[in-house]
Chains A and B, each alone.
Chain A
């Protein structure tokens, strides 16, 4: 059974810092991995999707990497802003489990002005 773990559970940084969020998964036979942002009481917004054949994806200040063999992904946020404050979730789609996503527990990020 696929398990997805995210560390740290919470993170507080001053504005302008670069930061890294970590995601690990136990079954490396994945189709893809997505990073989502969740604001309090709101839905999930897909930030980046990395296919199993890719090593990284970039969108603006966000960069996500994938190391399938070690079962790890990182989300790098450059020059953090207070508007980046949210919970960040990673989710994997296993090749053998249909097309459902298995989510991690999330990292709650607070960026202090």
Chain B
């Protein structure tokens, strides 16, 4: 069964450093998302992306965050200057066209900011 692939599975970085989290969505999907889950808290929406542009973003997704689809297969989340509170599991997700299509999640990247 097709799956969403995320790399790396774990990322440790120093506060203030830039990180790029990578995702390969399912190949025929057109809608892409980033969510995150701080330990012990709810899964939170960050951003949705369609047709090569951001379609919606949450208040968490400030100027330090950016997303990009640099080619036909990859979808990346960049955090320019990481903060301690950015430590979380970051999930990429994708779905097909249609308002009632299931969302498929990757297995996540655990980001630890020291």
Residues of chain A having any CB pair with chain B under 8 Å: 31-32, 34, 36, 41-46, 49, 51, 89, 91, 93, 97-106
Chain B interface size band reads 20 to 34
Binding site secondary structure of chain A: strand
Binding site secondary structure of chain B: strand
- Interface readout for B4-29 with A: 1 if CB under 8 Å, 0 if not? 10100000000000000000000000
Nearest-Cβ distance from residue A83 to partner chain B, whole angstroms:
18
Chain B residue nearest to A31 in the complex (CB) = B99
Residues from chain B with a CB closer than 8 A to the CB of A43 are 4, 6, 91, 105-108
Answer yes or no: B48 CB below 8 A from chain A CBs: yes
Once bound together, how far apart are the Cα atoms of A103 and B103, in whole Å? 13
Residues from chain B with a CB closer than 8 A to the CB of A93 are 99
Residues from chain B with a CB closer than 8 A to the CB of A98 are 48, 55-56
Once bound together, how far apart are the Cα atoms of A32 and B105, in whole Å? 17
